[in-house]
Structure 1
Amino acid sequence: MPREICPTEIDIIKLKRYEQLYRVTAKFHSSMDMAEVLKEIIHTLKEVYETFDCVLLLSHDTSTDPELPIHDLEYGSDSINQAAAQAYLTGNVQIEDSLINDKSVLYAPLKGKQGIYGVLQVTAPDTPIFPKEEVGFIELLANTAGGALENAQLYQQSRKLISDLQLINKTTHRLNSNLRLSDTINFMSEQIRASFDAQVIGFLMFNGKDQFEVLTGSSDYFFQDESVPLVHFINNKIKQEKDAVFIGDLSLDENIGEKKFRSLMVIPMIQSNALIGAVYVLNELPYHFSFDKFKLLQSLIHHSTLAFTNSMLREELERMVITDNLTKLHSRNYLDERIQLSMNTDALGAFLLIDIDDFKSINDTFGHQVGDEVIIQVANIIRKSIREHDVGARWGGEELAVYLPKADLKTGLMVAKRLVERVEIETNPKITISCGITVWHKENKDSVKKLFNRADEALYKAKQTGKNRVIIYDNYT
């Protein structure tokens, strides 16, 4: 027969347990680490009830030690463990006694002031009826644990909120510092990649019903054909719904046709109620982005769109200032600045001054509109015939110019001859051009004005000696 426990021993056991409860409560309040709180709950239960099996059923995702007896709480009509679900939903202790299985199970809700965070499941083996004298202590421990979990969760949420606000504040502050568009995109990419663990990021601007432009600085994926089905599908969805898109697994939708990436967040960029573009964020793993991250990205893009738009408008205004409205070549002022900069930094350069032959007769014969079209045709030929870092410009009227930084006379002559030949072949109505060419070298004292004067003299000689030709200024020393 089991030995009877006298009242004094019972009081001593209770005292020890409440001392343990006091100790664990003090430890709970000294830690804001969710994992530490959970570990302490399990440790205390095993210490008090060596023969009981204890499991924590939690209602939210928590990163914990995989060796701890912690599981997700399932509740609802499909829940297997109805008693645990009932304890969670009602906030009351539930007990399942089983004479057949010779065990009893107690389910104590982990209650805080603002909600219930899970259920403590305590199984008493070889005990068909759960000991009533243990219910009060376990319930008290569960309530204490619930309060500690709530405090730890609120602390983590507050830290996350502070971190999110710092990210938004840092981003908007940096973007409002008059960054160029390329700098804006690079900075945004760095922030998104670091904060959201994004593998590819795309910045798309809408410029028509079905047209869009992938901005430089976006991931390579968005410049490849494999991205087209996904981008078209999501762009149409955004334009129809005017809302952000959050997909945990792209492979589940056959209409999308995406094979490589699984997780997707797309946030529309809206300015003055107008949809101007979208930011794409993808990862190869399914369900990689949490809903909290999705909401944070929405807030980040919302606060950044104005600065993003300002960067684009500022660069567009700059392009308008340095671009000739008719030919879309550079303006005369921009040409002057680029040549001066080149003279300050380079060793040499070639300058071509071009004039359309008999332009007045073109205007008189075909009209000024055709005359403008002829100038545009020549400008387009120039644009196609020079390198990216060369400068094509409208000099004035029917005169155009080309500056070739770091180019010698041989290179300049080759470009000039190619222009003369192409203009005669490719224009309609058929026209010709004359070209004067000169170069500068760092070892000689030179200036932009002198360079222009020499090219002008060479051009004058080309016009006087038959037109449709290239003349080199040959008196330069």
Structure 2
Amino acid sequence: MGGSESFYRSMFDLSRTLFLQQTTDGVLKHIVSSLQGHFPFAVSQVYMSQDTTPSDIPILPLVFRHDGNDLCTRAFMEGKPVLGYPAGDADERGIPTFAAAVPLIGKQGVYGVLEVRADSKPLDRPDIDLLVGIGETAGAAFENARLYEQSNLLVTELRLINEITKRLNQSLRVSDIFQYACKELIDVFQADFACILELDRKEGAFVVQATNLSEMLSDTFEIDYGFVGLLHRTKEPVIVSDYSHNARIESKLMNSTGSRSLIASPILVNEEVVGAVLVTHAEPNYFTYENYKLLLLLAGHIGLAIMKAQLHAELNRMVITDNLTGLYARRYLDEQVHSMQQKDARGSLIVVDIDNFKQVNDTFGHQIGDQILRQVSAIVRSCIRDTDIAARWGGEELAIYLPQLTLEQTERVAERIRSRVERETDPSVTVSCGIAEWSRSDEKVSVETLFYKADMALYSAKHNGKNQYRVG
């Protein structure tokens, strides 16, 4: 009876201690100390499967042997205690060592094995019962702590994802999204380097849009190059534990930074790859499977934010763009001229009108008239700078605002447009142009005044033979 009381008291004390632990490390430390306390006459060892091998606790990874003679492998695979004499294990007198291997088992699976080897004092029935009890109690406690850690990790990840998603959705500029996401990835994973690339479908290449490695910013990579090529082909994330031992895939990011660990994920929108995310660290085996899964989730949210920003940009483009010519709408031009007149020192305006456009429509039809409008608009776009603004002013009239240009420079642009329209349109048409300029020294600076002067100059060109430009 005394032995039973001692057994139950030991189990009660152990259960109370283990189930108070909220971390797997805490449970494992108490398992080790419990084995040493209950079996001081024997050699005890805890073996764990998966990646549960903390460096500060004397625990070994479970190595599976398939010869059928390894007690720990059998205990783990069978999920029950295994007793016996390990082959080749004996004391100095040649007496075989007796060993007991007990699975560390919970309701959801087996997590490891507890092994006790004894030669000075053989294990008796109470010892084995105690070891089995420790295995069952410790297995349940370990499982509880593991689930608690996983739930805490999940809550933390959900909060993180929610915060990052909220911040991503606050920006409607794709460039801002790339920059913010890159910074957050480095912070979240405590990584050394991160790189976000966007797929340029027209060029068939990936372009680096954000990275903390300045030498790679704006670099372009072929669509099948390195890890981004792998992500593009498979549409699946990648984890590399040690690049130095597995450098079959060429990577400028890994080679330039001396990184050894990598997690990478494609950025998908509607199941199509639109970009890629790469995160690296100098240490091998740095990233965990949980990091791998989290990156996949974050890449998905980055993709959604990019899609939202692109849709907003497209909607904005449609609002400020004339559908027929592809030039800006008049309202956008007015707003931009007003804005530039607040900060610039000077600027000029060209108003372009297609000569005899009604006659073109009457002769060739409105479809040809639309084609002429598109041809003239394309010529205008090719004759101006990226900083200039060309818009459809109304009907067959176009307007071009040229920031910071002198009158002489503006006249050259107008003449270039006039001569090219006459040569390159089919059927051939001509245009008349009115030019106006403003400067900070003018008595009155306004959008209305500038357009009035250009309109009067256009009127003069029309009534003096057409196919020419005049200055107002």
TM-score by length of 1: 0.75
Call closer, same or farther: CA 1:263–1:192 in 2, change over 3 Å: closer
What percent identity do the matched residue pairs reach?
Answer: 36
Partner of 1:151: 144
2:104 counterpart of 1:110:
yes
Residue 433 of structure 1: how far off its partner (Å):
3.5
Instruction: Note the 1:171-186 alignment, pairs <5 A.
Output: 171-174=164-167, 179-186=172-179
2:241 counterpart of 1:268:
no
2:220 counterpart of 1:224:
yes
Distance 1:235 1:245 in 2: 10
Cα RMSD of the aligned pairs, angstroms, is: 4.2
Instruction: Note the 1:221-300 alignment, pairs <5 A.
Output: 224-229=220-225, 234-235=231-232, 237-238=234-235, 244-246=236-238, 248=240, 263-266=263-266, 268-270=268-270, 275-283=271-279, 290-300=288-298
Partner of 1:320: 318
Of 53, 59, 68, 2:49 maps to 59
Instruction: Note the 1:24-423 alignment, pairs <5 A.
Output: 26-46=16-36, 49=39, 52-62=42-52, 64-65=54-55, 68-75=57-64, 77=66, 82-97=70-85, 98-99=89-90, 100=94, 102-124=96-118, 126-127=119-120, 129-130=122-123, 132-174=125-167, 179-195=172-188, 197=191, 199-204=194-199, 217=209, 224-229=220-225, 234-235=231-232, 237-238=234-235, 244-246=236-238, 248=240, 263-266=263-266, 268-270=268-270, 275-283=271-279, 290-300=288-298, 308-360=306-358, 362-363=360-361, 368-423=366-421
Partner of 2:258: none
Contact 1:102 1:128 survives alignment (8 Å):
no
Q: CA offsets, 1:48-83, max 9 Å, x none? A: 5556433221112126125x332222347478x731
Distance 2:390 2:229 in 1: 36
Contact 2:266 2:299 survives alignment (8 Å):
no
Distance 1:34 1:116 in 2: 14
Residue 85 of structure 1: how far off its partner (Å):
1.6
Contact 2:432 2:461 survives alignment (8 Å):
yes
Partner of 2:259: none
Q: CA offsets, 1:421-441, max 9 Å, x none? A: 544555455554333222223
Residue 280 of structure 1: how far off its partner (Å):
2.3
Call closer, same or farther: CA 1:178–1:225 in 2, change over 3 Å: closer
Residue 40 of structure 1: how far off its partner (Å):
3.5
Partner of 1:6: none
TM-score by length of 2: 0.76
- Provide the secondary structure at the position in 2 that maps to 1:225: strand
Contact 1:435 1:459 survives alignment (8 Å):
yes
Given residue 343 of structure 1, which amino acid in structure 2 is its aligned partner? Q
Residue 161 of structure 1: how far off its partner (Å):
1.3
> Would you say how many aligned residue pairs link Structure 1 and Structure 2?
445
Given residue 80 of structure 2, which amino acid in structure 1 is its aligned partner? N
Residue 409 of structure 1: how far off its partner (Å):
3.5
Contact 1:246 1:266 survives alignment (8 Å):
no
Unaligned runs of 5+ residues in structure 1 are 1-9, 239-243
Q: CA offsets, 1:298-337, max 9 Å, x none? A: 5556667666544433332221121111221101111111
Residue 352 of structure 1: how far off its partner (Å):
1.6
- Between 147-156 and 440-449, the greater mean CA deviation after superposition: 440-449
Call closer, same or farther: CA 1:306–1:265 in 2, change over 3 Å: closer
Given residue 119 of structure 1, which amino acid in structure 2 is its aligned partner? V
Given residue 378 of structure 1, which amino acid in structure 2 is its aligned partner? V
- Between 419-428 and 376-385, the greater mean CA deviation after superposition: 419-428
Contact 2:98 2:117 survives alignment (8 Å):
yes
Residue 84 of structure 1: how far off its partner (Å):
0.4
Instruction: Note the 1:422-437 alignment, pairs <5 A.
Output: 422-424=420-422, 426-428=424-426, 431-437=429-435
